């Protein structure tokens, strides 16, 4: 499992390992350097390692030695040769003793970078604490301008590991090999262009140690598979629940159809789509398994509200008083767990008092704009720290919050899960409606609301990613058609 942490987390893990576990810092550094070196393609050669004076630089010197021991050609550029951290000094001295070519004259840097095939950036890691000034601005500019292939140690130098902001300028890495945790700042969209391909490696610490300091996790296939509930041979449709989808309006019948079809394909025993009267004759593209209901028939609706196992509310309903009234009616007459999306969220933003009624029974699935409306925070405020914004909201209202976007966040007040599946081939209308249907369907099948959000977002993005290998744009219909196949794959 990959945990997410900020600069403070690295410091805490470091000091716990050193002071409580009695692992000397130099051992941690050695493990970091060895595991970093292990990720480097064995065909690469001719490395220039650019080292700062802190422990990130120390990692760099240790990597230099590791590479030399693999018979690679290695040179080192030292940004500073005084006032180094203790472990940095030790590894610097070893490099000198081994006779590794070392340079510290900034006027030689450009030529050095040009004459090497790979630059390893070990200037700053989690200790970057101020804007960059000379000579570091020049060093980083040179790396970016002349580096043919750049691998950053822990963090691209110049990026703040906690916030993802740059210190004015930052290394644009082709690869980043990060230690122990995936840095929280990497989730900030502004950091994306600097990171390249990210890999997280351990420094010899068991998972239970890392867990002490982070409750934020990057979901992977193995984790999602561990959440799945196997279907018993003798189960029948009653075991897989009844999902009620309340969605659609004359302009947006598609949203309703998509959610309902996704719920069917995800395996809900029964699915009923409840729409306004004027939409009923527009549902020809609904999968034949979907039952329909007329929202103006209050008795039928009441009956459904009492017996269904989950309710998806919102896609395509319209942001208007009729939707708000309907939401109030649903909340007053049902205790079923709910997925609230799209216009369901928009009307909640108009009447925040209603949020009280969602306590412990609801997952909200806003995109950034919807989240801004319902939380009262600006998009800029949210973007600065999406995890914190999502967690605070979830805590305040006791709801599960699934904040959609590149690196979707799912949180239940204290634990945070980040989903990295999905890509821009899925950036088209109907994707959110699909996720809503999938999530509600999972809840009906006895998954917890939290697990449904996690599995739903992973599965949805996973299908999109797989299909995008052979298709340029992926539609909601493409996703829905492939749900059962990839759901099965997750069980393997
Ligand atoms: N548990 C782990 O994950 C381990 C990580 N390791 C590596 O250690 C670094 C963090 O090392 P640290 O020494 O804390 O910090 P840095 O090396 O990133 O940088 C600190 C030095 O940089 C100077 N600094 C900071 N900002 C600037 C700036 N803008 N301009 C110039 N100089 C700057 C700072 O100087 P000060 O004067 O501010 O003190 C420090 O000298 C982590 O990223 C990993 O790579 C361990 O190796 C193993 C355990
Ligand atoms: K670095």
Q: The CATH number of the domain where 248 resides is what?
A: 3.40.1190.20
Tell how strand 408-411 and strand 310-313 pair up.
unpaired
Q: Which residues surround ligand 2, an ion (CB under 5 A)?
A: 121, 152-153, 157
Range of the domain at 320: 223-491
Cα separation, 229 vs 445, whole angstroms: 9
Same domain, 203 and 298: no
Alpha-carbon span 26 to 32, nearest angstrom: 10
Structure-token pair, residue 373 = 């409306």
Domain closes at, from 213, 241, 263: 213
Closest approach atom of ligand 1 to CA 87: 47
Torsion sign across C-alpha atoms 73, 77, 81, 85: negative
- b/e burial code for range 215-249 (CB count within 10 A of at least 16 → b): ebbbbeeebbeebeeeeeeeeeeeebbbbbbbbbb
Angle at 363 between CA 357 and CA 366, to 5 degrees: 110
Q: Are residues 302 and 413 in the same domain?
A: yes
Residue partners of 290: CB distance under 8 A and separation at least 6:
260, 261, 264, 271, 272, 273, 283
> Is the residue at 48 inside a domain?
yes
**C-alpha to C-alpha distance for 403 and 365, rounded to whole angstroms:** 6
What phi, psi does 358 have (nearest 5°)? -95, -5
Domain identity same for 182 and 240 = no
Binding site membership: which residues?
55-59, 121, 125-131, 136, 154, 157, 255, 316, 367, 404-408, 432-433
pTM of the model: 0.91
Specify if 390 maps to a domain. Answer: yes
8 Å CB contact between 72 and 45:
yes
Q: What is the pLDDT of residue 231?
A: 80
pLDDT digits (tens, 9 = 90+) for 341-393: 999 999 999 998 999 999 999 999 999 999 999 999 999 999 989 999 999 99
Same domain, 260 and 336: yes
Domain co-membership, 381 together with 474: yes
Same domain, 333 and 441: yes
Distance 142 CA to ligand 2 centre (A): 15
Domain CATH for 170: 3.40.50.10260
On whether residue 253 sits in a domain, the answer given is: yes
Structure tokens at 203: 């420094």
In a domain, 114, yes or no: yes
Radius of gyration of the chain (CA): 26
Asked whether residue 209 falls in the same domain as residue 231, the answer is no
Nearest CA to ligand 1 atom 25: 128
C-beta of residue 379 within 8 angstroms of C-beta of residue 372: yes
| 177 and 252 belong to one structural domain | no
Query: What does the pLDDT read at residue 492?
Result: 64
Question: What is the rounded distance in angstroms from the CA atom of residue 247 to the CA atom of residue 317?
Answer: 5
Spacing, Cα 167 to ligand 2 middle (Å): 13
Domain-located, residue 287: yes
User: Of ligand 1's atoms, which has the minimum distance to the CA of residue 129?
Assistant: 26
Considering the domain architecture, whether residues 305 and 191 belong to the same structural domain is answered as no
Please give the number of the atom of ligand 1 that sits closest to the Cα of 13.
Answer: 1
Q: How far apart are CA 352 and CA 344, in angstroms?
A: 12
pLDDT tens digits along 166-208: 988 999 999 999 999 999 999 998 899 999 999 999 999 999 9
> Ligand 2: distance of its center to the CA of 258 in Å?
45
Q: Do residue 181 and residue 267 come from a single domain? A: no
Which residue's CA is minimally distant from atom 35 of ligand 1?
54
Low-confidence spans in the chain with pLDDT less than 50: none
Q: Which residues contact ligand 1 via a Cβ below 6 A?
A: 10, 13-14, 28-29, 32, 52-59, 85, 124-132, 136, 153-154, 167, 179-180, 203
Q: Which ligand is nearest to the CA of 152?
A: 2
Q: Does residue 112 share a domain with residue 168?
A: yes
Give binding residues for K(+) as ranges.
56, 121, 157
424 and 332 inside one domain: yes
Of 51, 476, 461, which Cα lies nearest the Cα of 219?
Answer: 461
Question: Where among 213, 242, 267 does a domain terminate?
Answer: 213
Domain count, the chain: 2
Q: Which residues are annotated as a binding site for AMP?
A: 404-408, 432
Relative to the CA of 57, which ligand 1 atom is closest?
17
On whether residue 409 sits in a domain, the answer given is yes
**Does 107 fall in a domain?**
yes
Q: Which of 213, 232, 255 is the last residue of a domain?
A: 213
Distance 17 CA to ligand 2 centre (A): 22
Among the bound ligands, name the one nearest to the CA of residue 89. Answer: 1
Q: Cα–Cα distance between 311 and 111 in angstroms, integer? A: 64
Which-ligand-closest: CA of 56? 1
Query: For ligand 1, what atom is nearest to the CA of residue 11?
Result: 1
Q: Is position 218 within any domain?
A: no
Contact 186, 195 (CB under 8 A): yes
Ligand 1 centre and the CA of 53: distance in Å?
7
Give the separation between CA 51 and CA 33, rounded to whole angstroms: 13
């Amino acid at each position: 499992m990959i945990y997410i942490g900020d600069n403070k987390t690295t410091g805490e893990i470091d000091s716990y390992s050193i002071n409580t576990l009695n692992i000397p810092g130099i051992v941690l550094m050695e493990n970091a350097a060895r595991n970093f070196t292990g990720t480097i393609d064995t065909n690469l050669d001719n490395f220039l390692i650019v080292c700062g004076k802190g422990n990130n630089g120390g990692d760099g010197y240790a990597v230099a030695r590791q590479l030399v021991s693999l018979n690679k050609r290695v040179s080192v550029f030292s940004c500073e040769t005084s006032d180094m951290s203790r472990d940095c000094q030790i590894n610097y001295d070893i490099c000198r003793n081994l006779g590794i070519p070392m340079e510290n004259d900034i006027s030689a840097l450009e030529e050095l970078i040009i004459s090497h095939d790979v630059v390893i950036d070990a200037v700053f890691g989690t200790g970057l604490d101020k804007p960059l000034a000379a000579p570091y601005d020049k060093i980083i500019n040179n790396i970016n301008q002349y580096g043919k292939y750049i691998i950053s140690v822990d963090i691209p130098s110049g990026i703040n590991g906690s916030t993802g902001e740059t210190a004015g300028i930052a290394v644009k890495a082709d690869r980043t090999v990060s230690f122990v945790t995936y840095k929280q700042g990497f989730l900030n969209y502004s950091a994306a262009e600097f990171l390249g391909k990210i890999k997280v490696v351990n420094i010899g610490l068991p998972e239970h140690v890392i867990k002490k300091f982070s409750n934020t996790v990057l979901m992977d296939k193995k984790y999602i598979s561990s959440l799945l509930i196997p279907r018993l041979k003798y189960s029948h449709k009653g075991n897989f629940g009844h999902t009620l989808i309340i969605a659609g309006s004359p302009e947006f019948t598609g949203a309703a159809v998509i959610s309902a079809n996704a719920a069917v394909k995800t395996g809900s025993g029964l699915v009923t789509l409840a729409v306004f009267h004027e939409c009923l004759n527009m549902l020809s593209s609904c999968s034949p398994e979907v039952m329909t209901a007329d929202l103006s028939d209050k008795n039928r609706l009441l009956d459904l509200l009492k017996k269904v196992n989950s309710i998806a509310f919102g896609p395509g309903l319209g942001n208007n008083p009729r939707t708000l009234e309907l939401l109030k009616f649903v909340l007053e007459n049902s205790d079923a767990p709910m997925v609230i999306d799209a216009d369901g969220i928009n009307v909640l933003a108009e009447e925040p008092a209603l949020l009280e009624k969602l306590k412990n029974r609801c997952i909200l699935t806003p995109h950034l704009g919807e989240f801004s409306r319902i939380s009262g925070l600006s998009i800029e405020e949210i973007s600065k720290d999406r995890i914190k914004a999502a967690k605070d909201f979830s805590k305040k209202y006791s709801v599960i919050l699934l904040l959609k976007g590149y690196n979707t966040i799912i949180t239940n007040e204290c634990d945070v899960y980040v989903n990295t599946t999905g890509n821009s081939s899925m950036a088209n209308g109907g994707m959110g409606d699909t996720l809503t249907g999938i999530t509600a369907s999972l809840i009906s099948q006895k998954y917890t609301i939290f697990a449904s959000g996690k599995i739903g977002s992973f599965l949805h993005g996973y299908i999109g990613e797989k299909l995008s290998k052979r298709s340029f744009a992926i539609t909601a219909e493409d996703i829905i058609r492939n749900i059962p196949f990839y759901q099965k794959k997750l069980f393997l």
